[in-house]
Chains A and B, each alone.
Chain A
Amino acid sequence: MKHHQSVVSRLLSYLVLGVLAVLFLIPFYLLLRNALMTDPQITSTRWSWLPIPPVWSNFHKLFTDPAAPMATGLINSGIIAVTTLVFQMLFSSMAGYALARIPARGRNVVFGLIVSTLMIPAAVTFVPTYAVTAFLGGINTRWGIIVPGLFSAFSIFLFRQFYLGFPVEIEEAGRLDGLGYAGIYWRLLLPNSRSILMALGVLAFISSWNAFLWPLVIGQDPSSWTVQVVLSTFLTAQTLNLSELFAAALVGIAPLVIVFLLMQRSIVEGAKFSGGKG
């Protein structure tokens, strides 16, 4: 009887999961379908499930549209996301290591300061941060978009947790070899932080790529737009060009989806680390 029960419940699970999986995939399907259709096909009352023949020219139209600098957007988003990834990981791991492993007076005060910024939502600081960036000459520049995002109290917090749990033996071995704190960090800790670096790094990359409001107000000139800003201008533009809009959206998420599929395992491990241990 137990075996029978588990088969039934197993089948039920598959059924439920199957239905849900279909539901979850519908948005992707719609995106793909609309990106490969013409406007009249999209808005026609008669629904066609498959874009046959696929209208590849939508992508050509997209990249030659002067009002929608998609190529520039991709390049900007790419540079910004990679730079954010690298430097945020660098700064956060450095700070996390110092807070976890370097005894110094004032360490707790610094940690307290950093954690306190976690309490305040970005909305409070948005306008003043914008003003600070402007006074530093960052409006309409790539660094103006990037730099404020390089400092994540959340990442610092997690790195500190991580290094607190790091086995002391490694550091002691390093000290035996005459390494200073910098050496221990660079040669021993960092190479062994692969899991957390990948997890947080990918998250930093994704959140940087998907950031919308900050690049919107900093990037006033179209040459500094990111992909999300370009997409948003499609959504809020005076004239709606549906097929181009969907082609743009598809191109916009493609890099992320690819990164995601490749790095899924690392993110899962990172999530285990940060959330599962509650």
Chain B
Amino acid sequence: MTSTTAAQGSQAGGRTLSRRMFLKTVTIGAGSVAAGCSSGNSHGGITLTQWYHQYGEAGTEQAVIRYAQEFTKAYPHIRIKVVWVPGDYKTKLATALLVPGGPDVFESSLTLPMAQAAQVAPLDDLFTPAVRADFSPRDLEANTVGNTLYGVKMLDDTGILYFRKSLLAAAGVAPPTTMDELIAAARKLNTPNRKGLFLGNDGGVTSMLNVLPWSAGSDFLKGSQIVFDNDRTVEAYEKLKELNDSGALLIGAPTDWWDPSALIQGMAAMQWTGLWAYPAIRRALGDDVGGMAWPALDAQGSPATFLGGWTSMVNAQGHHIPESKELVKWLWIQNTAIQRDWCLSYGFHVPPRKTVAATAAALKAPIPARAVRDLSEHGHALPPAWSSSMNTILTDAVSGILKQGHSGVAAVKTASQLCQRELDRLLV
């Protein structure tokens, strides 16, 4: 450090960057970065991370936190950290499960690749024969891959076509029993300020993708075969196109089909959404609302609805698998009070366990009772082998039919071939 350079430095004075400032910022920056690092456990026990997606109903987040606290009361050395994930849960979960450090327990739907890639832990030992008998066979099937159970169903969802009784009466329309009647009803109920029917902002591509072919008597995947390449499926999608072309569908609502605001705020006279929305709809519209399964396509078909919901699973890459399994068992197998609370106190879901559903008073009301009946008679589910890529392929095909005028027969055939290729790859 010579005097000349120092002189240069000080001469530069006001116009140069103060190096001392720079150093200071660097140190503070490094410090705050380090401070942001996650700290370890301080209470001596273990902490499990549990992920939920953001449920739309009020009170749900507080509820799951409460359940977690109750669990810790029963198992004092296990703390639960609940992570409530808004937005694109599926993607966030997928990335989290790829690498170490993801959630210990999470909710999702079981897919075949998850089991194949050993992302989820087998949960057979949680199910005694008595417990097994108490779950609906379809719920067990949906969570089974190769004779092993990988998840416990937390709640069952089903779809309902809600309609405003007064508006139907005013238009002189009876609740439709076939697709043609539905299209006619939607047309009659359509006014400039209130559309006839809301199926989602994409005209029903997503919400009706599976339900319509089911209502036509078709299906998607059986065993190792893709089975939707038939004229019933084509007919179903072409009817959807007819519905779109009628101009009676609400497009561009602020929220999508799973949120009942379109119906509640009077943007549409009918809406396809789920049982989960029943409390909100009932609160807003009281007795002026009716509900039914999606009508049969025609005389050959039958009404249809979907069996959906969420399953609790254990991350096979987690560090505390026995404790995680304990949590799942405690919550969703043993604690029937929690199951009832979770399914019925916030949104509205059917408890997957028959004994719990039987004692639920809330399910006795007309619309929920009908939904439960429709679910058992007309409910359909997709098997674990139906992968997300097959869903994309089919969605593209239907979108092409609806929005780009593609031929139904050609689109369905191509989709079927592509899906079969996916399936073959999966099952290899």
Contact = CB atoms under 8 A, between A and B. Distances in A.
Interface string A124-152: 00010011001101011111001100000
Contacts of B55: 238
5 contacts: A67-B61, A140-B38, A142-B35, A143-B34, A221-B83
A143 B92 contact: no
Is chain A's binding surface mostly helix, strand, loop or mixed? helix
A109 to B, nearest CB: 29
Interface string B194-237: 00000000000000000000000000000000000000000000
Contacts, number: 120
Interface residues of B, number: 45
A28 to B, nearest CB: 22
Given A135-B99, A217-B95, A190 B2 contact: no
Interface string B50-67: 000011100001000000
Interface string B344-377: 0000000000000000000000000000000000
Interface of B: 2, 4-5, 8-9, 12, 15-17, 19, 22, 25-26, 29-30, 32-38, 54-56, 61, 83-88, 91-92, 95-96, 98-102, 254-255, 258-259
Nearest to B100: A134
What's the interface size class on A, roughly?
35 or more
A207 interface: no
B305 to A, nearest CB: 21
Contact of B86 (A82, A87, A135, A233): A233
Nearest to B16: A191
A178 to B, nearest CB: 6
A174 B17 contact: no
A233 B86 CA distance: 6
A194 B17 contact: yes
A238 B37 contact: no
A92 to B, nearest CB: 14
A37 B19 CA distance: 46
Given A67-B86, A82-B29, A236-B88, A179 B37 contact: no
Interface of A: 67, 76, 79, 82-83, 86-87, 90, 127, 130-131, 134-135, 137, 139-143, 146-147, 173-174, 177-179, 183, 186-188, 190-192, 194, 197, 216-217, 220-222, 224, 232-233, 235-240, 242
A252 to B, nearest CB: 16
Contacts of B56: 238-239
B355 to A, nearest CB: 30
